[in-house]
A and B are shown apart, each in its own frame.
Chain A
């Protein structure tokens, strides 16, 4: 009994350690003063007005959404194709290919950023939406491939044989059997891809230039100049979006199950 209480207390402490610093940004966003202090001395929503009233914040938010949507649209088909290909491989080839696809998650982001910056510069892509979309898609692709891979592994291989035996071409098999059954994995991968791109900052700082600033880049710039609660508003808004995305995915999954 005492053991259980101790364990519960430890778990609560750990959860607090993980979550509280992140949640601290929420009260900060509702401060009436023009500096961040916890807890705020007076409450107000004035900084929300500032956030949505300032064209540069609005532009950054829209750019983030645009890049995240496009990066998701690039990463989902590619990641799904990668998962389908990986499922057909065996042995050492499979392990090597898997390592290659998971690479972007393992390699330090700053290394990727420097490398991509060099490539984008010589291609004249720095400061373009295209550079951000491609960079983010690269980061997001492993999440899609892994998510879809899990769904694929749960698929009875006899289903493919059954469809082929009934005369289906591989495209028809994919369209009518495989895709509908791995859809939860694809949707999950898409949510991960969207969130990955939406809060990505390191690559974006390198690739955004002055013309394609995303929300995280704009937050980063703002903090370097002045540390006002509008930054907390932006962060709270992003957090809410991320929680919404994860929650809706969970809900969707439960409905299917």
Chain B
């Protein structure tokens, strides 16, 4: 068992709180991504897990074992760094073998396991290459092999794809996802890239200003974000500000100045009638609807298979609408609507 439990883990540097007391559970074999802007505390949380940073409070459990005071070198975790941190004076084989040599694994087994690890990351035949002779993507895979070959209880990755170009990043994302599905291993992954989080993770923990704001599957975060911050961070969003007219706990209606009808949607927790709130209407749910709200198309942006339309409603309100290319309405005037079931009424996070 190598589930990870953060129990009230927090970190302060003097008067500055990098991480508020945080509870977070990662199930055995789960791929959990810490997603947030820089300074949100995600790397702090990762470094505390790895043992590179002692927490100011709280306890860290791996399985049933309390490792809060265990030094990094006794935690048996595999770490992949943003800078890769490969040993530049060793070749690929020696880099990958490092953790095994430390563990005094017999030479014949080292040879076998290093070869296997290099096969998994598709670097057979690169064993004797110098690190500086490798491309960024290859270095990243060596770093991954080095972390995996020690059979870590937990795999930690700190923005490992940050230095790769977009095309390669997409390939490696899918590759890591496939590797994880083939051999599930408790994984904590740090990124500020929402797409990366959605592609690879079983669950995503969205962080902001030293706190975990919401934890859930990518789908759940996208469809039912806890607040406007999460909504803005994952995917494209129309956020319409207004006042809560009524709520029964599961649904709510929002009055928006200048709109003839209140906007209805699912209610996030923490809403009260009369409070300021926002309605989240995803651009892909906005559709032409005869007899709907009259709007004017003021901008068309072609994004390949998608066309994004900027709409201005009668009261000056702007909405983005996304349609598959070829299905976007012609002309300037349009009447629009959306499916109330896909709308969420959220507390307005500043």
Q: Find out whether the CB atom of B72 lies under 8 angstroms from the CB atom of A158.
A: no
Tell me which residues across on chain B come within 8 A of A163, comparing CB atoms. Answer: 87, 98
Q: Residue B81 contacts which of A158, A172, A176 (CB distance < 8 angstroms)?
A: A158
Shortest Cβ distance from residue A155 to the other chain B in the assembled complex, whole angstroms:
10
Tell me which residues across on chain A come within 8 A of B87, comparing CB atoms. Answer: 159, 162-163, 176-177
B174-201 CB mask vs A (1 if < 8 Å, else 0) is 0000000000000000000000000000
- Closest residue of chain A to B81, judged by CB? A158
- Closest residue of chain B to A162, judged by CB? B85
Q: Find out whether the CB atom of A181 lies under 8 angstroms from the CB atom of B73.
A: no
Tell me which residues across on chain B come within 8 A of A177, comparing CB atoms. Answer: 87
Shortest Cβ distance from residue B154 to the other chain A in the assembled complex, whole angstroms:
11
Q: Find out whether the CB atom of A165 lies under 8 angstroms from the CB atom of B102.
A: no
Q: Residue A169 contacts which of B73, B78, B83, B99 (CB distance < 8 angstroms)?
A: B73
Q: Find out whether the CB atom of B73 lies under 8 angstroms from the CB atom of A164.
A: yes
Tell me which residues across on chain A come within 8 A of B85, comparing CB atoms. Answer: 156, 158-159, 161-162
Instruction: Decide yes or no: A166 and B81 within 8 Å by CB, A159-B87, A161-B52 being known contacts.
Output: no
B residues 268-302 in Cβ contact with A at 8 Å: none
Assign chain B's interface to a size class: 20 to 34
Shortest Cβ distance from residue A47 to the other chain B in the assembled complex, whole angstroms:
48
Q: Find out whether the CB atom of B146 lies under 8 angstroms from the CB atom of A166.
A: yes
Assign chain A's interface to a size class: 10 to 19
B58-94 CB mask vs A (1 if < 8 Å, else 0) is 0000000000000111111111011101111100000
Majority SS at the chain B contact face: loop
Tell me which residues across on chain B come within 8 A of A176, comparing CB atoms. Answer: 87, 98
Tell me which residues across on chain B come within 8 A of A167, comparing CB atoms. Answer: 73-74, 76, 99, 102-103, 150
Bound: A180/B74 CA distance, A:
24
Instruction: Decide yes or no: A165 and B103 within 8 Å by CB, A158-B85, A159-B85, A177-B87 being known contacts.
Output: no
Shortest Cβ distance from residue A172 to the other chain B in the assembled complex, whole angstroms:
7
Tell me which residues across on chain B come within 8 A of A172, comparing CB atoms. Answer: 102
Tell me which residues across on chain B come within 8 A of A162, comparing CB atoms. Answer: 79, 81, 85-87, 146
Shortest Cβ distance from residue B184 to the other chain A in the assembled complex, whole angstroms:
21
Known contacts A161-B50, A166-B73, then 9 further A-B pairs from the complex at CB < 8 Å, ordered by chain A residue: A161-B79, A162-B79, A163-B87, A165-B72, A166-B150, A167-B74, A167-B150, A168-B98, A181-B89
Interface set of A (CB-CB < 8 Å, partner B): 156, 158-159, 161-169, 172, 176-177, 180-181
Can you name 30 A-B residue pairings with CB atoms under 8 Å?
A156-B83, A156-B85, A158-B83, A158-B85, A159-B85, A159-B87, A161-B79, A161-B81, A161-B85, A162-B79, A162-B81, A163-B87, A164-B52, A164-B71, A164-B72, A164-B73, A165-B51, A165-B72, A165-B75, A165-B79, A166-B102, A167-B102, A167-B150, A168-B73, A168-B98, A168-B102, A172-B102, A176-B98, A181-B88, A181-B89
